[in-house]
Amino acid sequence: MNKEMIYLDNAATTQPSRAAVEAMIKAGECFGNPSSLHGLGLEAEKLVEESRKSIAEKLGVDSKNILFTSGGTEANNAAIFGVANARHKIGAKVVTCKTEHPSVLESFRYLESQGFTVEYIEVNKDGIIDLDMLYEFLDMETTLISVMHVNNETGVIQPIEKIREIMLEKSPYAHLHSDCVQSFGKIDVKPKKMGADLVSISAHKIHGYKGAGALYVSDMRMIRPMLFGGEQQNEMRPGTENVGGILAFGAAAKECDGDNSNLILLRNAMKEKLSQIPDIKINGSDEFNSGSVLNVSFKGIKAEILLHALEARGVYVSTGAACSSHKPQPSHVLSAMGLDKNEIGGSVRISFDRLTTMEDVIKAAEIMKEEAASIRRYM
């Protein structure tokens, strides 16, 4: 990475670590197909299984419960459609939250078009799910609840354990899925402790490469496969494995400690510095936050203008989720939290990771202060 660059868009993607790069190079040297029976194939299979074990160890689960995917989107789709297809004879009611990632929301909208009853749970002004509303909507017909662990636009942590408690009381035949793409590697993610039956994670959010992800499934009988073909991964996710991406994923996972104390320090420092700027608003809970994201509305400023002004000075942030950056509609997350159009239009997502330094934060905050003042002068 350019030393003059201050990269603060880590919720979109992270820089591959040296360990991940070396693992990718190793995969190039051991280029056999993991399904082949000769030596090169067997060696590739061995390396893939080592990565599976490394990721499972970080999650505190058995490696046999890990399915490799092409990323977080596929993992979310595999969980949602897998459970829906397996359980539709028991019930056709599914529940999610209004602030989920598009890969979850669009999957639920498709289920709705196929005759499923879908309930979209509200959040409060801090972005926390309305547990009373969840309690009201759950019933014996509910087969799936999907709520993300850490929000990709605000960093807000959802109370997965409490959701599990409500589910066991109101919908004992349901399964709980959690999109942990933004939490895995940043805070401690243990599916069994959380009470999640299915958990989605992604490599490029933790310094691995794009194109690799994984789905934890506590019992493979609770899902049906989405893909059909070969016998890879016990036919639950057939197709030749992305050996390089998987090896880099395993290497990156080994480096994660799940300690977010430094992220919280960085977020708090940025928040304190930016609070000196007139007419800003911090979006999302401070108390229940991973520390990896700070969402700020610069009132009276279009976020895109500020983003490009910052980029010209080597500071990289975003205006929201990377997967939605080319869409004109306002953030569904901030809309659900009750922000008005102007607040949403001026919102910037600043996201940190373990490579971010306090020096980066202080310098970036000063540049943001200067550029915001400059833009407002010429409005």
Question: What residue type is 267 in one-letter code?
Answer: R
CA dist., res. 177 & res. 186, Å (int): 19
CA dist., res. 201 & res. 215, Å (int): 6
DSSP letters spanning 210-235:
TT-EEEEES-GGG---S--SS-GGGG
Contact 263, 306 (CB under 8 A): no
Strands 175-179 and 93-97, sheet pairing: unpaired
Strands 93-97 and 66-69, sheet pairing: unpaired
Tokens found for residue 322:
């990377």
Contact 109, 251 (CB under 8 A): no
Residue 323 among the catalytic residues: yes
Q: What are phi and psi of 376, to 5 degrees?
A: -65, -30
CA dist., res. 265 & res. 288, Å (int): 14
Q: What are phi and psi of 370, to 5 degrees?
A: -65, -45
Strands 213-217 and 198-202, sheet pairing: antiparallel
What per-residue string of b and e applies to 144-182 under the rule 16 or more CB within 10 Å gives b? bbbbbbbbbbbbbbbbbeebbebbeebbeebbbbbbbbb
Name the nearest CA neighbour of 351 among 212, 183, 154, 128.
154
DSSP letters spanning 169-199:
HH-TT-EEEEE-TTTBTTB---HHHHT-SEE
Q: Which of 97, 180, 256, 323 is catalytic?
A: 323
Q: Could you give the residue numbers annotated as active site?
A: 323
